[in-house]
Amino acid sequence: MASYIRRLQARLADYSWRFAPAVYARLARGDRSAIPLTVDIPKEKVDSYLRNLLELLAKEFYDINFAKEIPLQRREHAREILENYLGFRLVKRQSTIEGAGNGVFVEKGSKFPASDNELNLVICSINLHLLGKVSSHAVVSMYPGTIYDSWDSILLQSLGNHFVLRCQDGVIIDGNDVRLSRRIHRSCSYRDLAPDISDLTWLEDEPFNYMNMGQYINNEPAPNLHNVQYFDLDIHNWPRR
């Protein structure tokens, strides 16, 4: 009985970080704590890095329509472009952390060798399983999802949802790719009717841009240390594509 209560308490404590009323309560108290930064990188550098990458994809796939099925050949071409630019390739598969579901793995990454104690990676999430290697201080992933302002209602979406990310400015990103969250994101994308409003492939097992898997990067439990950290980035004056 005692072990059951401890498991229940741990589950509730974990879920409270994603349950919408609890999130709003912490915001009201001014509690905007986040994972402490261990790597100091200029935001301008990260902004330029991501912008160059996305502009490269936009130039190569200017005619792509994410509302339709994307051929496997074009998907693989996108992965090759990403790997050439980034120096590594990511894949999603069963996590090595017990009970953690899926995780993100570095499948390739020998282009930028780094020793294990140098792997302080900047991203929007927390732990990579390193089959390949990634250079220190590299941007390794982005956190996709539906974006909510702090005053938007997200109560129903937060129920049983482990992919609700609260940013330091109060903005909330729902990175869940199933159930109600999935339907809301697809509805918003199709409703707006604007071209290229969203890369809907992040909702699939293998997204067109494999950087769009930050929500599946798991937090390594003690005594192991995370090798990736969150990084909030506001973008300004980017082109539409």
Residues 85 and 113 in one domain: yes
First to last CA, the chain: 56
Residues 128 and 153 in one domain: no
Residues 46 and 121 in one domain: yes
State residue 170's pLDDT score: 87
Residues 57 and 13 in one domain: no
Residues 124 and 237 in one domain: yes
Q: Is the backbone peptide bond immediately before 113 cis, with ω within 30 degrees of 0?
A: no
Residues 94 and 83 in one domain: yes
Residues 82 and 62 in one domain: yes
Residues 115 and 233 in one domain: yes
What total of structural domains would you count in the chain? 2
State residue 56's pLDDT score: 92
Residue 210 domain-assigned (yes or no): no
Residue 71 domain-assigned (yes or no): yes
Residue 37 domain-assigned (yes or no): no
State residue 136's pLDDT score: 78
Residue 127 domain-assigned (yes or no): yes
> pLDDT per residue over 118-175, tens digit each?
333 444 333 455 556 787 788 889 999 999 998 898 888 888 888 998 888 889 999 9
Copy the structure tokens of residue 198: 């969203």
> Domain range spanning residue 227?
42-142+222-241
Residues 189 and 235 in one domain: no
Residues of the chain predicted below pLDDT 70 = 1-2, 4, 6-39, 109-132, 192-196, 219-226, 240-241
- Write the DSSP string, 73-103: HHHHHHHHHHHHHHS-EEEEEE-SSTT--EE
State residue 17's pLDDT score: 54
- Write the DSSP string, 180-225: HHHHHHHHHHHHH--TT---GGGGSSS-SSTTTTGGG---PPTTSP
Residue 207 domain-assigned (yes or no): no
How many C-beta atoms surround the C-beta of residue 69 within 10 A?
A: 8
55 contacts 184 by C-beta, under 8 angstroms: no
Residues 138 and 150 in one domain: no
State residue 2's pLDDT score: 67
State residue 184's pLDDT score: 94
Copy the structure tokens of residue 77: 């071409």
Residues 88 and 18 in one domain: no
Residue 74 domain-assigned (yes or no): yes
Residues 5 and 53 in one domain: no
